[in-house]
Amino acid sequence: MIYINILVTGGAGYIGSILVRLLLERGYRVTVLDRLFFGKDSLKDVLDQIRLIKDDIRWFDPNILRNIDTVFDLAALSNDPIGELDPSKTYDINYRGRVRVANLSKKHGVKRYVLASTCSVYGFQQNVLNENSSVNPLTTYAKANYRAEREVLPLADKNITVTVLRQATVYGFSYRMRFDLAVNGMVKSLYKYGRIKIMKDGTQWRPFVHVKDTSNAFITVAESDKELVNGEIFNVGSNEQNIQIYNLAKLIAEACNQEFRYEWYGFPDNRSYRVDFTKIREKLNYRVKYGIGDGAREVWNALENGLVDPDDIKTITVKWYKHLLEMQKTIHEIEINGKIL
């Protein structure tokens, strides 16, 4: 095949580390741009097959875009709680940083740019929502993603194909594991405590997609005819995986062959939305391969077999960022006091 050079920002992350491997399997040449806040262990077995650049989308040297054909822009502070840690930084990275990547991609002759967005932009709505529905972003994370969408899409022209992928809530085992995602977190809770913690009031709707399936959506877009994807938004997931949170917990217990025991936590979630994924299925012939039960069993087995540590602080992204901020504060205090590390 003709080798195509692909840059994956955030390529060491939860989705990125899966996407990178799928690209390598298909014969692509892969460059990863990642700040490596979580280290590079998620890529350790493929480091000799990729070009890894430790840098930030807000200030990386644009010259790395030379000879890059496609950019998958996944780098971001990755969910709602993290987005609220420092809203100004969330906008700086998830909005301004990615708009910078898109503009520089166009300037340096990149042929395709794909933005990783989120179905969270729909916020709270009663109807089943498609790409033409109104949005209602409620959190800093969702608002930053939507602002990025609005600024990158107008860049689309005959020279660069620009596509936005609004991903459902992702689940499944990854090399940079996360337990701050609904399915994964429920499996961990069931594994550790014998019961599932459910955010009140359990009636909220959410769409889901396996990490391998959402990764394949990026590849599908890259390999589709330009006319089908240029300037387009696609919801990524499947209609069958829209589910209410209480029913999700029951499904997970059944999939893991465990008694369904649960406890409530938190305040009623103000996010609830069902999403229509017809467009990507009909226009790009995209199909998911995994269901929620598959992903739940996958995570359960990973825990049972010791492939992931349920107590690893890095698996809860907001806790790890807080840890890094505290470490940074400590180092700063040491420097101020003139002490030697």
233-289 confidence digits (pLDDT tens): 999 999 999 999 999 999 999 999 999 999 999 888 888 999 999 999 999 999 999
**133 and 124 in contact (C-beta within 8 Å)?**
no
Q: Which domains does the chain have, with CATH numbers?
A: 5-177+207-241+273-290 (3.40.50.720)
CA–CA dist 184, 176 (Å, integer): 12
pLDDT, residue 338, reads: 47
Tokens of 43: 């890529």
CA–CA dist 16, 23 (Å, integer): 10
30 has which bridge partners?
A: 6
3-class secondary-structure state, position 313:
helix
Confidence of residue 227 (pLDDT cuts 50, 70, 90): very high
Predicted TM-score (pTM) of the model is 0.93
pLDDT, residue 131, reads: 98
pLDDT, residue 143, reads: 95
Residue 331 has pLDDT above 50, yes or no: no
Residue 336 has pLDDT above 50, yes or no: no
**122 and 129 in contact (C-beta within 8 Å)?**
yes
Residue 1 has pLDDT above 50, yes or no: no
pLDDT, residue 324, reads: 78
- What does the mean pLDDT of the chain come to? 93
120-164 confidence digits (pLDDT tens): 999 999 899 999 999 999 999 999 999 999 999 999 999 999 999
Tokens of 72: 């998958």
- Please count the helices (runs of H) and the strands (runs of E) in the chain: 12, 14
48-62 confidence digits (pLDDT tens): 999 999 999 999 999
CA–CA dist 103, 213 (Å, integer): 28
pLDDT, residue 57, reads: 98
Mean pLDDT of 71-81: 85
- Count of CB atoms situated within 10 Å of the CB of 107: 12
**208 and 238 in contact (C-beta within 8 Å)?**
no
Confidence of residue 85 (pLDDT cuts 50, 70, 90): low
Cβ contacts of 48 within 8 Å, gap of 6 or more = none
Mean pLDDT of 315-327: 80
3-class secondary-structure state, position 276:
coil
Residue 321 has pLDDT above 50, yes or no: yes
